[in-house]
């Protein structure tokens, strides 16, 4: 409880607090992370998200992509950790959310300023004519998903292995890391780079790091100032309660 109180106090007294989220914040919404025992990579081969494999084997890739990201992710709803971040932003405490997630749950929870470091699954684009589409505009029954205008191969709007970070999100995330005096890191192993450089960059600029995770991460013993080892929704609810928002 002491660490929760300290975290709430840091957030309350911050000038520029940001949040940095990973797959762990969405676990309580029913979306498994990639890594770990029950992670998606224990069931699926990550090669389906390799950009060259995808282009050469669009049917095989799309069969798994549809199952994971469109049949399964599609029904998930934000949990109290996503909602808590939106409340913190509404109350003026949190300035932005930098997320590695592609599940749209921060948007659904009501966060306004979101930088999606790895893109988003809800917008898709044609690899031939670059036209972009929302999910309902496309036919997911016949795979691979094809462009209604030119019949080109459609690719989800999140980045695949072998692709670069979206320029705008990358630049804004670096700016936010430089501006931040407090970073709330939620549910990230800290193993995925360059995303993991963002909280590290903030720390180099003297930001305090609050970490919410069920397990220790690569951040915990290196940059974290306050480690709250519990489910993100529980910790977030306690912080919100103390801040009375
Ligand atoms: P990760 O899969 O490497 O690690 C998840 C982290 O969340 C772990 O440290 C774990 O201990 C923690 N965690 C699990 N349950 C938690 C809970 N209830 N509360 C708090 N923490 C919890 O995640 P990562 O480091 O973010 O990297 C995986 C990459 O895969 C991301 O970059 C992301 O792009 C992608 N991904 C996204 C989603 C999504 O959009 N929801 C899901 C899977 C993977």
Q: Say which CATH number the domain at 197 has.
A: 3.40.50.1220
Residues 150 and 68 in one domain: yes
User: What's the 14 CA to ligand 1 centre distance in angstroms?
Assistant: 26
Please name every residue paired with 213 in a beta bridge, in sequence order, or none if there are none.
Answer: 229
What average pLDDT does this structure show over 226-240? Answer: 98
* pLDDT over 70 percentage in the chain: 99
| Residue ID of nearest Cα to ligand 1 atom 39 | 101
Q: Residue 131, Cβ neighbours under 10 Å: how many?
A: 15
- Let me know: does 62 contact 172? Beta carbons within 8 Å: no
Closest by CA to 88, choosing from 26, 27, 19, 28, is 19
Q: Pick the atom of ligand 1 nearest to 36's CA.
A: 2
pLDDT of residue 40: 82
The number of distinct structural domains making up the chain is: 2
Residues 44 and 83 in one domain: no
Which residue reads 């529980």 in tokens? 234
Closest by CA to 10, choosing from 230, 229, 227, 231, is 227
Phi, psi of 141 (to 5 degrees): -80, -40
Q: Pick the atom of ligand 1 nearest to 35's CA.
A: 2
Q: Quick: pLDDT tens for 152-196.
A: 999 999 999 999 999 999 999 999 999 999 999 999 999 999 999
List residues with catalytic annotation: 118
Residues 23 and 124 in one domain: no
Closest by CA to 120, choosing from 89, 63, 166, is 166
| Residue ID of nearest Cα to ligand 1 atom 30 | 34
Residues 202 and 127 in one domain: no
Residues 145 and 125 in one domain: yes
Per-residue confidence band for 23, with pLDDT thresholds at 50, 70 and 90: very high
| Residue ID of nearest Cα to ligand 1 atom 13 | 24
Computed over every residue of the chain, the mean pLDDT equals 95
Per-residue confidence band for 73, with pLDDT thresholds at 50, 70 and 90: confident
Residues 172 and 185 in one domain: yes
Range of the domain at 151: 32-75+120-158
User: What's the 74 CA to ligand 1 centre distance in angstroms?
Assistant: 17
Residue 128 maps to which CATH number?
3.30.1600.10
Residues 170 and 197 in one domain: yes
Residue from 7, 19, 20, 23 whose mutation best tests the ligand 1 pocket (most atoms within 8 A of CB) = 23
- Let me know: does 233 contact 82? Beta carbons within 8 Å: no
């Amino acid at each position: 409880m002491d660490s929760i109180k300290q975290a709430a106090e840091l957030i309350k007294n911050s000038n520029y607090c940001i949040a940095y989220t990973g797959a762990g914040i969405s676990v309580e919404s029913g979306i498994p992370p990639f890594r770990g025992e029950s992670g998606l990579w224990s069931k699926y081969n990550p090669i389906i998200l390799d950009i060259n494999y995808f282009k050469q084997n669009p049917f095989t890739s799309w069969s798994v992509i549809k199952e994971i990201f469109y049949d399964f992710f599609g029904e998930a709803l934000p949990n109290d950790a996503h909602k808590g971040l939106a409340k913190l932003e509404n109350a003026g405490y949190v300035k932005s959310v930098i997320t590695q997630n592609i599940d749209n749950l921060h948007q659904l929870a009501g966060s306004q300023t979101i930088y999606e470091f790895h893109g988003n699954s809800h917008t898709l684009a044609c690899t031939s004519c670059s036209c972009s589409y929302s999910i309902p505009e496309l036919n997911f029954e016949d795979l691979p998903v094809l462009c209604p205008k030119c019949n080109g191969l459609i690719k989800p709007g999140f980045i695949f292995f072998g692709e670069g970070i979206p320029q705008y999100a990358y630049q804004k995330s670096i700016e936010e890391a430089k501006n931040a005096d407090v970073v709330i890191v939620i549910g990230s192993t800290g193993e995925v780079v360059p995303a993991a450089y963002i909280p590290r960059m903030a720390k180099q600029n003297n930001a305090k790091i609050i970490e919410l995770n069920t397990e220790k991460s690569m951040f915990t013993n290196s940059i974290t100032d306050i480690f709250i080892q519990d489910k993100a929704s529980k910790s977030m609810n306690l912080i919100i309660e103390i801040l009375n928002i």
